[in-house]
Every structure is written in C-alpha cells, then in structure tokens.
Amino acid sequence: MKKINYILLSILFLGVFSSCSDDFIEVENKEVLTEESFWQTEEHALQALTAAYAALHSASGSKWAFFEELYIAMSYRGDDIVGNTSEIYGRALTNFTNTTEESGPYNVWLASYAGIGRANQIIQRVPKMDDVDAGTRDVIVAEAKFLRALYYFWLVTGFENVPLVTTFETDPANLFPSQSTPQQIWAQIEADLKDADAALLETHEAQWTGRATKGAAKALLGKALLFQEKWGEAEVALKDVVDSDHYALLDNFADNFNGNGENGLESVFEIQFSGDRSNGNDERHPFNFEVSPYAFGGWELFYPSEWLVEEMQTDLDANGNPSERVYESIFFDDPQSDMYSLDGGGEIAYPDVATDLNHPAYFKKYAVNADENYYAGTNISLIRYADVLLMYAEALNENGKTDQAIIEVNKVRERGKAVPLATMGQEELRNQIRHHERPVELAMEFGIRWFDLYRWERGSTARESIKTTFQNHNIPFVDNFQDKHIIFPIPLQELDINDNLEQNLGW
Amino acid sequence: MKRKITNSLIFLFTMLLLNPSFVSAEDSLLEQVISGIVTDQDGEPLIGVNVVAENTAIGTATDYDGAFRLEVPDGTTNLVFTYTGYLEQVVEIKGQSTINVVMRTDVAILDEVVVVGYGKQKKSDITGAVSTVNVDEIQKIPTADVATALQGQAAGVNVAAATGAPGGNPVIRIRGLGTIGNNNPLFVIDGIPGDLSYINPADIESINVLRDASAATIYGARASNGVVIVTTKRGKTGAPRVSLNTYVATHSLTNNVEMANKAQYNQIMKEARENGGDDPLEYTLNDNQYADTDWADAYIKDAFEQKYDLGISGGTEEMSYFFSGGYFKNSGTVINTDFARYNARLNLDFKLLDGRLSIAPGIGYTRDNSNNIFEPTGGGNASFSPFLYAFSAIPHKEIYDVNSSNGFAEPDPGLGSGNPIGERSLETDQNQDDYLQFNLAAELKILEGLTYQFQFGYNTENTYNYYHLPAYSFGPQATVEDPYISETRARLNAWTLNNVLNYQNSFGEHNIGIMGGISREKSEFRSVGGVNRKLPSNSLEALSAGIGDEASFGFNSTSTLQSYFGRLNYNYGNKYFVQASLRRDGSSRFAADNKYGNFYSISLGWGLHHEDFFNVDFISEFKPRFSYGTLGNQNIGDHLFLARIASGGAQLNYPFGQEMRQEIVVGAINTSLPTPDIKWEETTTTNFGVDLGFMDDRWLLTFDYFTSKTEDMLVSVPVPATSGITTFPLTNGGEMENKGWELSTTYRQKKGDFRFDITANLSASKNKITKLGFADESFTEGYIEFVNFPTTRTEVGGEIGRFYIFQTDGIFQSQAEVDAHAIQPNAAPGDLKFVDTNSDGVLDDDDKVFFDSGLPKLEYGLTFNAYYKNFDLTLFFQGTQGNNMYNGMKMWLYRTDRIENVSADLVNAWSPTNTGSSIPRNVSTDPNSNIRPSDYFLEDGSYLRLRNLQIGYTLPTELVNKVAISKARIYISAYNLLTITDYSGFDPGISNSGLFTRGVDRGFYPLTKSFVVGINLGF
C-alpha cells in the first residue's frame, strides 16, 4: 500500500511540474497589426497617408462627428447660417452661450491634432523607408506636410494659441506641450506649404484622385497669407493657381454640390466622401438630410440667415431676376425657386410647398447628390476655384489693383449668371467682396464665412468687428456675443489633462 | 463547555475524513435495528434528518415526529446524523437499540467549513476577512441572478443595479473601489473561474467572499478586487429527495416622473418660446387639436415573472448525485423586453479505493433568451436613453394607425419625427446565450494527512445576438429605409487545470496545514458577425436573403495564465493562528520581462477566548485577527504590450478615386502609444479584524478595518490630444488608497414557539487617488448630453468620480438681483444664479466645485427573520447613505430649449407671477444655460429600501404526508415594496456601471416593485 502511494506521488510530481514552461504564457498575436511589420512597403506608406487624410472626417471618422461636431463648429457661427431653434445641435455655439467644454471645438482640436500626429509619423518614418521609391516617398511626405499645414490652419484660426507639435512623441515626458504663438504656427504653415508645393504632383493618377496637389498647396498658402494680410505674397501664390492650366469654373454652378463636378476642374481641394458601403465601410455624410425641409423628408438642422436671403436676392441676372447661383444656393419664397425633395425624388417649386414649410428659406447645396446611398457620397469642398478667384481678387484689391480685381470677381459672377460688376473704388469693392461676393458665392460652405469674418476682425486693413457685422446683419443672439467668442476656448477636456496649457482670454 | 463539544466534534469530523474504516455494506448482514428521535436543542423534533450507518449506503430520514428506524449491518459502530444548518453528529451504537439525538444548530457558524482558495478551512481557523453569505437568505430573493440577490447580504460586498432591465447585470464591488482600472471581482465557481451571472441561485450551496489579502492572495493574479467563491449543491447520502420550488410574481415600474400632457406642454412651450423671443410652435396654439398621448404609460407595462426549480438528490456512500432543472421568465416591464433562462445541473460524487479516492464530475448548462433594450450605462458618450426618448415624445403624436402597414402612426408633418412605441416594438434585439460548465475534481488520500487534489474545469460561453429592423418611416429623423439584419456569434472557451497537494496534521497542540499547487488557465475568444443592409422584405430574417451592402467582422484573442501557489497554516491549541500564502503568476498579457508577478500575504489570529485567563462568561468568542499582503490585477485586454498599428474602419479609411462613388482605401497608422513595459497592478492590503461572540454565541459580531494601497494601476491614461493619438494607452498609470470598515452582526433568540434572528451588515469605504496618469492628468467623465456637459472629475487628492459642477444659489427674482450679479450677463429674472466660488468676478470653469461622488459612504443590509409555529416572516432592508446622484434625466426633462416633451413640473416654473417657484423660468433659448451641469441637478441618492417582505406558512406535516409530501411551504412576498429617498429621479438604486460615472443617472430602466406568491415542496 505504502509503495503504491510513493509511486503515485512521484508520478504526480513529474506530471505536474515537468510540464511547466513559459511557452504556455507566450501567446501569439493573431488580431492586430504591429509596428514590427509596418512601415516597410509603399502600400504601408500609402495606408499611413490615407489615415492622415481620414482625420478630415473627424478624429473618429464618423459622419456624425463630421457634421455635428466639425461642420457645426467651423460654420454655424457665421452670419450666413442660423440654426433650427428646435434642435440642440450647435445651439450653444450659435447662441454664443457655449462653455469651454463644448464638444464642437473640442472635435476640431481632436481632428486637427489626430491629423497632425499622423502626418508627423509619415514625415518621420517615410523618408527612412528604403524599399519605397524616393520619388514616391517625397510625394507622400509632401502631402503629409500639406495636411499638417491644413490642420494647423484650422487650429490657428479657431483657437489661435495652440501647441506646435511637429514630431510624433511616444515618451510620456514629451506629451504635454505648451502653446506657441500664432506667429510661430503661421510660420510652420507657410514652411510646410512651401515644402509641399515643391514636391507635390500637379495631378494624381485616376485611382488616387482626391489627394493633395501642387495647386491645393498654393491655394492654401494663398489663403494662409490672406489671413496674415500678406497681400503681396498672397497675390503671387494665388496667381500661380489661376495661371496654372488645371482649374476652371464649372459651367453649371450646382455641379459643385451635387457630385457631378466632384474632383473636377473647379475642385482645388475637397474632403472626399463616397457612397460605397461594401465591406462595412461608411464614408458618407448626412448633408442631404441636414439641409432639406421636413416637408421633403429632411431634418432641416440649419437655414440661411434672413440677411443672407435678402442679400442673395440682390444678386441679379441680366433680366433683373435673382441669379442662377442664388437659385442653386437657396430655396426661398420666389416663384422660380425649387428644390429637390428626398421624399419625392424630384424638384418641387416653392409656391407648391410654401404652406408646408416650417421655415421661410433653406440651403440647397448638397441637397441632391449624384452619389447618394441614403446619405451622401458627394465631396465637401474646402477650396474651390471660385474661392481662389475671389481670394485673388481680394489680394489684388488690397494691393491697389482694383480694376484687375473686378475682372476676377466678374469671372465668378458671370459663371453664376449674375450681371458683371461695373467699375468701382477699392473700398467699395472690398465691401462688395466681403459682404456680397463671398457670402453669396460661398454661403454655408465648410469653414468659409465665419473665418472670413474672423480674419477681417483680426486684420488691420479695414478692420471690421464681428459684433458690428452681426448687428448690421440682424443676427440673433448678437447680444450674447463678447470678444472672447472671436476664438474658441481651449477645450476644457484638454486643459484638464495638460497643465502647460493656458485658457484663451475671457474663457 | 459548548466549546469543548464543538471541538470534539471537529476532532470526530476530522478523524472521519482522515481515517475511514473500510467497512463495506455488501459484506454485512442486516441484523441490528435502531430507532430513536432526533430533536433540536430545544427539544423540537427535526424532520428529514439524514441518518446513515457509517461507511454504508444504508440510511433513512426522520419523519415528522423526528423519529427514525434503521436496520444496520452487524459491525456498524456509528450512526451519522446530518441536517442542513446543523452540525453533523456521529453517535456510537455500543449495542443500543434506541438512540435519541439532539442536533446542535450551527449557531456559531464558527465551525462551519468555509470554502477558500483551493481548499476548505474551518471558520474558526480563518484569520483573513472572509464573508460567508447566508445562502438561505439570498434564495428568498425572487431573481434569477445571484449578484442581485447578494445585494445587502454581506459586509463589504457592494452590489448596485446598473439598470433595472430584465437580465441586466449589476455592478459588484468588494470593498468599494480599489483601482481606476477594472474593479470586477474574480468569481470562482466550484474551484474554477467562471461567470456568476449564469448560475441559478437555487443551485448554490455556499458563497464566500474573500476580501483581504490573506484570504485572496492564493488567487493572486486577479484577486485585488476580491474573490467570490461559489460552490454548487452536491448530493447527500440517502434516498432520493425531491424539491420543487416555484413562484409567480407581477412586476410593475413605479413611474414617479410625471410628463406634461398636451395642454400643459402647450402652456409651457408657449411661455418658453415667448420668453426666448421665438415664434410659438404651430401645434401648440390649439389645445383641442391633435392627440393627447401618454407615451410613458404606453411604454411601460406590468410584467409577469415565474420561476420553477426542481432538485433531486440522494445517493449512497459510494456515489451521490444532485440534479437540478430550472426555468425562469420575466416578461419585462418595457414593451418588447423580456428575459428567460433554462438551467440544468448534474453534480456527481464517486468514492473509490475504499473511499480514498473521490471523483466529482459536475456539469451545468444555462441558456438565456432575452429581448434586449439598449441602455447608455458606462462612460463616454451619453447617447440617449430609450426611456428618455419615449418619455419626451410630445403628446400630440398618435401611437397607432390602423391604416399603416405596421400598425403604428407616422407623426403628422409639423410634429417632428419619431414614434418611440413603434420603434421599440419593431426593433428586434435578441440574445440567445449558452453557458456550459464542465468540472472534474478528484481527490486522492495518499498518506495520512496528505491528499492530492485535481481540478479541471472547462467553461464555454456561446453568445448569439440577432438584430433586425424592418423598413419603417416615422418621419425624416426616424426612418429605416431598408430592412436591416445583423447577426453576431461569439464563443469563449476557458479551461483551468489545478494540481494541488495538501497536507494536514496535528501534533499535540500543533495543527499544521500545508498546501502547494500549480494551475494553468487558458481563455480563447472568437467571434464572427455579419450585416446586410437590405433585405428584400420585412419578413425575411436570414443574412443570405440580403441584397444590400454587407459586412462581416470577427475577433480572435487568447490569454493564458500559469501560476504556482502555496499556503501554510499553523495554529497552536486553537489559540494562536498563523497563515502565510504565496502566489507566483505568469500572464500572457505582459511582455517577457514583466510576465510574472509575485504576491504574498501573512495573517495572524488569536483565539483569546481559549486562553485560561479569559473567563468572561458573557463573551463566548473573542478573536482578533490581522493580515497583510499583496494582490494583483491583470484585468486588461490581450497583447496590449505590443506596439499596435490601428487599421481600417471609418476612423482611418478614406475614399480616393476618379469615380463619383470612390473606392474606399484602407488606412493604417499608430493611433496610440506603445506600452511595452506594462506590468501587474499591485494592491497591498492591511486588515484588522475581530470576531466576537456573546451569550453563548447567540449574538455574533465581526468587524474589519482595512486599508489598501494600489500601485501601477492599469488604466487608459488620458493623453493630450496634441500628441496625435486618439486611443488612450493602457498602462500602469496611477496610485490610490482605499480604506474602510465592515461590520456584520447576528442575534438569535428563541422563546417557546417563537424564535427570531436579526442580521445586520454595514460597510463603508473611501478612496483617494494619490497619483494619476503621466503628469497627474485629471479624468473628466459623466457626460449628460452626448459628449457635452461632463459632470465628474477624478484627480489626485480626491476620490474617484467626484462631481465637479457649478454651484447655484437659487433663482434671480428681479432684474435688480440680476444687475447686482454681474457675472451672468445673459441672465434674466427666473434664471439660476450661479456662484462665483473663487470671487474673481467672472463665472468660468474655475468656479466649478467638487461634490462627493456617487459611491455611497455607507451601505447596509438588515435581515429580520421570525418563526412562530408554522409561520415564518422575513424582512430585508437594504440601503445606502452618502451617495450623490446626478439627475441627468431631470436636466433633459427640465430643458425647454428643444421641442420635445418636458416634465409636468414646468407648469410651475418661475414666472413674474409665480416667483416662489424653485424651477427656473421656461425659456427656449436658455441664454443663461440653466441646464449646464450644476448642483441644481445633483441630488442625495441615499435610500432605504424594503427589498423583501416575505411571509411563509409551512403546512402541517400530518396533512402533507398524506399526499406523499414531506414538506410544503407557501409564501407571499413583496419585493422592493417601499423606498425611502429624497431622490426625485426614477430610482436611486440604479447606479450606472461606469467607474467615473457612478451615480450619473441618464434615465435608466428603473427597478421594479413586485408581488410574489411561491411554494416550496419537498418529497
């Protein structure tokens, strides 16, 4: 009996303890890609670049974050837009009652720095990827620099006082930057755009349409220079775009917003969207619903302001009717005005639906989409050629070349079937550009109007206070507007985790 | 005197275990007849006491007079008497033909054998903080969920419902919060880590909770949040015994949130729009137009609940069995929700090699079927509670429309979108989950005192989710264009293998126990899912029928754990106790250099009452205890130490191409920080405790005080967005302290036919963060409106999840008051007045102040049982004290800047003619931001709840015996009958499952009140 026990015991010990090795707790990773195998091939470099572009849709890439956060934060504050007072989206921002933790500005911050972080990784890693052709590497790095500049442009014009981060850091000690001055940010933007310009392609092969081009870099540089009132340099940069053979105004104004002119002649740089839903992808945006009236199955989250509708009605064609660009921009109380109905699928005239409408006027841009898959796959323009021409005109005018400026403005007007401007003085043209041409041509477009108001507020050439403009344009909630509202607060969410940041004045 | 008896019983019991005499029943002749009566200490006959001739399968049970008659084989020396709740009695026959036995109740509980890690210990030997849950009490709670039943039943075990939805899992915390990472305790079921939520409460034999390091170190790896050890019932020797327990119950929601009806809404909205300078809403102008729907009422229904549990057990000395089958169904108090469960369990025990080898296989199966409701519990985006959605639908809309294809009404144009009843009814969100537990345990007595224990457990969890939406249109913002289908299946296979050697012996007064073992665990998770965005018909329910865009997805991850452990127990004369434990764990979740963590503990106890010099008659037990030790936590995802490249998904993909519908290109890049050096989180705990017994243990009291310190907490550390990362890295980021105390006490008394017992337990804990993140970053959480309006902040120097909000000082009564308070330029009379707490003349973020978190300062449970003749009564109270609740639902229902329905309270909002109101004015623009997070919406969430009131009646034995029933008890019960609280929201007992969002009420599914009728039958 005893013997058996000992044998049993020995077997047990052998069985139990001989099997123990650390192999058991080495488990192979079968689920995620790791650094070890990445940053090797051209495909990897392009995947990284794609990710850097993806932040244009927001840090999370969600269509909701794109509209409800980025677009609202970048556009709702302008005098061209009023929010639907039944909806809470962007309510506090448009009322100028937002707190420092408002999610819209925070999402602009998140998206911009997500994009910058990805661009920084590319700028650091891609030049060292020996298996990738040097020319390809240069183009990819140039695009990363273009994107970095674009994201910094969003930041500096939104928040002004932001940290300048140009490397992707993994050491926790380096993750808590302080703010740089706006001048430093602008310098970085200019430097990046000039570097990008040097290496960017004029056009991409069909498969890669939508990536940044030389023209995009020049146009953004021109815009950045405009914001700094470097009128001379701006004129040069924008002239380069105008003189290049790559761009033209589309014959049909509406094609800029319905998908037909997507990545076309007028497109300088667009945020790409697609109705492709294969493999679980979703890269659409919901603008078609957001602008459309309830009566057309839309959500009508925002409208053209009363001032904009009135101003637009002064933009006349040769017959004294509102111009084509007006009819294609807004749906308003006019017998000729019509709009696409999501419900019916056709164009419905204003008088036929007037009594069912919840609001006097609506935006039409992006209401109808050639690439519609419930939501829209139409690109959202960041810089289109008409904007370039108007910016160029503005630079020319500030440089004293008013007559030349009028020619550029008239190109845009004529395409929109508005009668050309007659000769006018510098100041008159300035006013015309600021409070007619730009808002009428570019109404509600992503990040345009508010930031125009912002640059004229901050500028020294014929400075205009936003508050005054709002008062002149009868913008609701103007009473709530204080100087602090000229820029976003530094998001509280970020301040809370980075002691080195200081809140913007007044917030 | 009493002590002596118990000690000799322990001795007898131990002898029995260790020195079985090898008498086999088959060899013997039935010769001797023994009869007698078994009574309790008070002389009451005990019915159904198990009487067995030792080492044989021959046995019987006492009848209703407590009498038994048993023919025993010649040579049988002892009779063994066992009865639940009483100590086992072994009586020497010595040729007697009549043996009357007095069973001693397990009053002291002290000599109960407690299941601890990898073994059992006598309660009296324990030097750590171990709570033994009274399983009888938890089985009185009408629920299919063990954790729900645990609430208020044991000191230091804090259970709070995260939601009241049927089948919803509550939040279980042992000793409050010990980390800002994962706080879930480890559940060990029959020796194998498993999922408690699948276990039928009716199958449970015992629950012990290991709270301090001394007790839990042996599970070092995952023990820092406490260990809950559950054993299921096993067969007992004797003829088959059948039990049938069943109840039916009705559940109803107490809706204390009154919404405005149409006329009230019209009045409120007209006022709000006028105050805000907005045009009145068209549909509010005529009270006689439109419907006047009570959406809340239509959303809620009374539920019916039923539970049936059948148990059969019995066996011989060589083999015993326990079988159970159960069915549970709750039909849900919200339309289109329900939960049903099927359970079966078979536990077998074989004794071989003359009893030296025991083999105990067990198999348990559970199936859960549920119709789910989404609830935005946890952190992050506040999303939108379905309750809120239903409650805030405007009364003007119709619910039903007989002419529509699905029976529900599309709102009139102009009334906005949405039909919450239609949407809830048409959505199918079903789960069918299976859980299979297979256990095999074996124990071999190798030498005297030396045993080898083998345990193998294999658990499989299969979950299946089916989600379907038919096409419908309830207005532009509530439209499903095409029928949609999604199916997801996931499988978790987890096995555990334990090999343990145990040595136990006594040398005179020296009692020694040594245990050593090795364990391996592996857990593999695979899942697969598919989506099709268009089905050709609403009635099709197969992915293969889909004709739209499709997507598939799946996960694959594996983790392993390899552990070595040992424990040493020593006591001298049952007076001086020492225990030391050691565990070394290796985990696949850490890189090579950090795989192993070592954990240890030491504990001491002193049986003071055994000392000769101690002779206080009043005090029957006095045992101070002390323990100190370390515990670990590795409750994180797999392979986080690798530098991961994120790829794909909406976040990183982006379209390129010339076509109008561009192709979508995959993006990939680093979106987080590599954390190659992550290692074990470690908690050091010190525990002081004392066990006291008074008046011959009629009154028992246990008190524990603990402090713990957690280092290298495994948390997702917030990193500034400027870094470019979008996924916070999970790393060892922080330190915290937790301290608290627990008190549990029981008093029993008997007088004639009347006896009662009263048990109370209290626990308190308080935590404090001492280090956080890379640079003491604070954590902001508790969002109320999507990702706006955070309400909590966690930072160094304070507890987890404190509310951090503005402070209010009433309502502005006049323009003069507004003018005098320059910091709120947009305010008008009727708006909330916020306090410039730092007196700097501006109202900004720096004026937010901290308020205590949603974690209760004190939690308690109180159980009172009384028995008189055949009647029994149970009262169970449970409550919390000192926890704040942020009433997010109230914020939503008080805001008039939308057009959704609002609380009926707002008819009494402040107005120039109603200046006494405590409700700010109705104003559609809310220029003062009255809805911003402030103490206006912060409420005291303390409550006292009568959780269970039960009255039972046991039918006279004479009566039921006539129909072959040995025991029949009927009872009625009221569950959650009464709640005393100042909280104005649905339910103060709903805590939110998120760590940083505790007490953030986003309008969750409230708990229900129920009335129960049940019957317990024994055959």
Any B CB within 8 A of A503 CB: yes
Minimal-distance CA residue of chain A relative to B518: A16
Q: What integer pLDDT is reported at residue B122 of this predicted model?
A: 83
Q: What is the average pLDDT across A27-47? A: 92
Q: What integer pLDDT is reported at residue B78 of this predicted model?
A: 87
Please count the CA atoms within 13 angstroms of the CA of A143 that sit on its side-chain side: 29
CB-CB contact of B360 with B321 (8 Å): no
User: How far apart (Å, rounded) are the C-alpha atoms in residues B124 and B10?
Assistant: 11
Minimal-distance CA residue of chain B relative to A122: B669
**In whole angstroms, what separates CA B418 from the centre of its chain?**
35
Least CB–CB distance from B651: residue in A54, A120, A371: A54
Non-local (6+) Cβ contacts of A49 within 8 A are A122, A140, A143, A144, A211
Q: Which residues in chain B have their CB less than 8 angstroms from residue A277's CB?
A: 533, 548-549
Non-local (6+) Cβ contacts of A384 within 8 A are A256, A266, A267, A268, A270, A445
| pLDDT-above-90 percentage for chain B | 62
Mean pLDDT, chain B, whole residue set? 89
User: Does the pLDDT at position B8 exceed 50?
Assistant: no
User: How far apart (Å, rounded) are the C-alpha atoms in residues B433 and A300?
Assistant: 42
Q: What is the average pLDDT across A472-488? A: 93
Which tens digit of pLDDT belongs to each residue from A201-211? Answer: 999 999 999 99
Q: A218 to chain B, minimum CA–CA distance in Å?
A: 21
Minimal-distance CA residue of chain B relative to A108: B721
Q: What integer pLDDT is reported at residue B10 of this predicted model?
A: 41
Which tens digit of pLDDT belongs to each residue from B233-265? Answer: 998 888 899 999 999 999 998 778 899 999 999
Q: What integer pLDDT is reported at residue B24 of this predicted model?
A: 38
State the CB neighbour count (10 A cutoff) for residue A36: 10
> Cβ separation of B667 and A50 shorter than 8 Å?
yes
Mean pLDDT, chain A, whole residue set? 94
More confident call, B419 vs B752: B419
> Cβ separation of A165 and B787 shorter than 8 Å?
no
More confident call, A8 vs B644: B644
User: Does the pLDDT at position B21 exceed 70?
Assistant: no
More confident call, A123 vs B55: A123
User: Does the pLDDT at position B963 exceed 90?
Assistant: no
- Please determine, for the modelled complex, whether the ipTM score is greater than 0.90: yes
User: Does the pLDDT at position B22 exceed 80?
Assistant: no
Q: What is the DSSP string of B527-595?
A: EEEEEES--SSTT---GGG--S-EEEE--EEEEEEEEEEEEEEEEETTTEEEEEEEEEEEETTS-GGG-
Q: Which residues in chain B have their CB less than 8 angstroms from residue A24's CB?
A: 520, 522, 560, 562, 586
> Cβ separation of A50 and B652 shorter than 8 Å?
yes
CB-CB contact of B145 with B197 (8 Å): yes
User: How far apart (Å, rounded) are the C-alpha atoms in residues A384 and B214?
Assistant: 70
Which tens digit of pLDDT belongs to each residue from B575-601? Answer: 999 999 999 999 999 999 999 999 999
Q: What is the average pLDDT across B686-697? A: 92
Ramachandran category for residue B754: left, alpha or beta (phi over 0 → left; psi -120 to 50 → alpha): beta
Q: B597 to chain A, minimum CA–CA distance in Å?
A: 13
Q: Which residues in chain A have their CB less than 8 angstroms from residue B773's CB?
A: 497
> Cβ separation of B720 and A294 shorter than 8 Å?
no
Top residue of B269, B656, B659, B847 to mutate, by most chain A CBs within 10 Å, is B656
3-state secondary structure of A409: helix
Place of tokens 């319905």: A258
User: Does the pLDDT at position B476 exceed 90?
Assistant: no
Label residue B1 by pLDDT band (50, 70, 90).
very low
> Cβ separation of B664 and A44 shorter than 8 Å?
no
Q: Return the ∠ at Cα B524 (arms to B522 and B528), rounded to 5°.
A: 175
Any B CB within 8 A of A104 CB: no
Q: What is the average pLDDT across B112-126? A: 81
User: How far apart (Å, rounded) are the C-alpha atoms in residues B299 and B287?
Assistant: 24
Minimal-distance CA residue of chain B relative to A7: B446
Q: Which residues in chain A have their CB less than 8 angstroms from residue B845's CB?
A: 99-101, 492, 495, 503, 507
Q: What integer pLDDT is reported at residue A15 of this predicted model?
A: 52
User: How far apart (Å, rounded) are the C-alpha atoms in residues A216 and A219?
Assistant: 5
Which tens digit of pLDDT belongs to each residue from B638-656? Answer: 999 999 999 999 999 999 9
Q: Which residues in chain A have their CB less than 8 angstroms from residue B550's CB?
A: 278, 280
Least CB–CB distance from A494: residue in B645, B721, B775: B721
Q: What integer pLDDT is reported at residue B7 of this predicted model?
A: 44
User: Does the pLDDT at position A265 exceed 90?
Assistant: yes
Q: What is the average pLDDT across B855-859? A: 93
Which tens digit of pLDDT belongs to each residue from B522-534? Answer: 999 999 999 999 9
Q: What integer pLDDT is reported at residue B330 of this predicted model?
A: 93
User: Does the pLDDT at position B110 exceed 70?
Assistant: no
Q: Which residues in chain B have their CB less than 8 angstroms from residue A208's CB?
A: 656-657
User: Does the pLDDT at position B838 exceed 50?
Assistant: yes
CB-CB contact of B341 with B143 (8 Å): no
Q: Which residues in chain A have their CB less than 8 angstroms from residue B559's CB?
A: 27
- Phi, psi angle pair for B111, to nearest 5°: -100, 10
> CA-CA distances (angstroms) from residue B374 to B165, B387, B389, B1005?
9, 10, 12, 10
**In whole angstroms, what separates CA B757 from the centre of its chain?**
26
> Cβ separation of B560 and A297 shorter than 8 Å?
no
Q: What is the DSSP string of B89-101?
A: EEEE-TT-SB--E
State the CB neighbour count (10 A cutoff) for residue A199: 18
User: How far apart (Å, rounded) are the C-alpha atoms in residues B696 and B107?
Assistant: 9
Which tens digit of pLDDT belongs to each residue from A347-375? Answer: 999 999 999 999 999 999 999 999 999 99
Which tens digit of pLDDT belongs to each residue from B532-571? Answer: 999 999 999 999 999 999 999 999 999 999 999 999 999 9
User: How far apart (Å, rounded) are the C-alpha atoms in residues A334 and A312?
Assistant: 12
Top residue of A19, A43, A85 to mutate, by most chain B CBs within 10 Å, is A85
Please count the CA atoms within 13 angstroms of the CA of B773 that sit on its side-chain side: 23
Which tens digit of pLDDT belongs to each residue from A295-314? Answer: 999 999 999 999 999 999 99
Instruction: Work out the burial of residue A18: count CB atoms within 10 Å of its CB; fewer than 13 is exposed, 13-18 middle, 19 or more buried.
Output: exposed
Any B CB within 8 A of A505 CB: no
Q: A96 to chain B, minimum CA–CA distance in Å?
A: 9
User: Does the pLDDT at position B608 exceed 50?
Assistant: yes
Least CB–CB distance from A100: residue in B446, B658, B845: B845
Handedness of CA B67, B69, B70, B74 (dihedral sign): positive
Task: For residue B742, list its beta bridge partners.
Answer: B704, B763
User: Does the pLDDT at position B181 exceed 80?
Assistant: no
State the CB neighbour count (10 A cutoff) for residue A21: 9
3-state secondary structure of B823: coil
Q: What integer pLDDT is reported at residue B12 of this predicted model?
A: 37
Q: Which residues in chain A have their CB less than 8 angstroms from residue B784's CB?
A: none
Q: What is the average pLDDT across A402-427? A: 97
Per DSSP, chain B holds a count of helices (H) and strands (E) of 12, 56
User: Does the pLDDT at position B737 exceed 60?
Assistant: yes
Overall residue count recorded for chain A in this entry: 507
User: Does the pLDDT at position A19 exceed 70?
Assistant: no
Low-confidence winner among A259-273, B5-19, B905-919 (lowest mean pLDDT): B5-19
Query: Side chain identity at B303, as an amino acid letter?
Result: A
Q: What integer pLDDT is reported at residue B11 of this predicted model?
A: 40
More confident call, B87 vs A135: A135
Quote the DSSP letter at residue A58: -
Q: A373 to chain B, minimum CA–CA distance in Å?
A: 10
Label residue B938 by pLDDT band (50, 70, 90).
very high
Ramachandran category for residue B869: left, alpha or beta (phi over 0 → left; psi -120 to 50 → alpha): left
Quote the DSSP letter at residue B921: P
Q: B392 to chain A, minimum CA–CA distance in Å?
A: 14
3-state secondary structure of B838: coil
Q: What is the average pLDDT across A397-403? A: 97
Least CB–CB distance from A99: residue in B552, B897, B932: B932
Label residue A3 by pLDDT band (50, 70, 90).
low
Largest separation between any pair of C-alpha atoms in chain A: 119
Label residue A2 by pLDDT band (50, 70, 90).
low
Task: For residue A432, list its beta bridge partners.
Answer: none
Domains delineated in chain B? 2-103 (2.60.40.1120), 113-234 (2.170.130.10), 807-847 (no CATH)
Q: What is the average pLDDT across B1004-1019? A: 89
Query: Side chain identity at B217, as an amino acid letter?
Result: T
Long-range contacts, B645-648 (Cβ 8 Å, 24+): B645/A32, B645/A33, B645/A34, B645/A35, B645/A38, B645/B669, B645/B670, B646/A32, B646/A33, B646/A51, B646/B670, B646/B671, B646/B672, B646/B727, B647/A33, B647/A47
Find the helix or strand (DSSP H, E) in which B361 lies. Answer: strand B357-371
Q: What integer pLDDT is reported at residue B95 of this predicted model?
A: 80
Q: What integer pLDDT is reported at residue B28 of this predicted model?
A: 42
CB-CB contact of A35 with A44 (8 Å): no
User: How far apart (Å, rounded) are the C-alpha atoms in residues B656 and B401?
Assistant: 46
Low-confidence winner among A341-345, B568-572, B899-903 (lowest mean pLDDT): A341-345
Q: Which residues in chain A have their CB less than 8 angstroms from residue B646's CB?
A: 32-33, 51
Label residue B15 by pLDDT band (50, 70, 90).
very low
Q: What is the average pLDDT across B979-1008? A: 87
> Cβ separation of A169 and B774 shorter than 8 Å?
no
Q: What integer pLDDT is reported at residue A150 of this predicted model?
A: 98
Largest separation between any pair of C-alpha atoms in chain B: 105
User: Does the pLDDT at position B6 exceed 80?
Assistant: no
Interface A-B: count of C-beta contacts within 8 A: 340
Overall residue count recorded for chain B in this entry: 1019
> Cβ separation of B785 and A88 shorter than 8 Å?
yes
CB-CB contact of A300 with A359 (8 Å): yes
Q: Which residues in chain B have their CB less than 8 angstroms from residue A292's CB?
A: 476
More confident call, B467 vs B219: B467
Any B CB within 8 A of A448 CB: no
Q: What integer pLDDT is reported at residue B744 of this predicted model?
A: 93
Q: Where are the beta strands (DSSP E) in B44-182?
A: 50-53, 59-61, 67-73, 78-82, 89-92, 101-103, 113-116, 119-122, 130-133, 157-160, 171-174
User: How far apart (Å, rounded) are the C-alpha atoms in residues B198 and A276?
Assistant: 42
Minimal-distance CA residue of chain B relative to A36: B643
User: How far apart (Å, rounded) are the C-alpha atoms in residues A73 and A66?
Assistant: 10
Predicted TM-score (pTM) of this structure: 0.87
Q: A196 to chain B, minimum CA–CA distance in Å?
A: 20
Domains delineated in chain A? 38-200 (1.25.40.890), 287-376 (no CATH)
Q: What integer pLDDT is reported at residue B4 of this predicted model?
A: 43
Q: What integer pLDDT is reported at residue A312 of this predicted model?
A: 97
Least CB–CB distance from A371: residue in B481, B660, B670: B660
User: How far apart (Å, rounded) are the C-alpha atoms in residues B204 and B345?
Assistant: 11
Q: A484 to chain B, minimum CA–CA distance in Å?
A: 12
> Cβ separation of B476 and A289 shorter than 8 Å?
yes
Label residue A5 by pLDDT band (50, 70, 90).
low
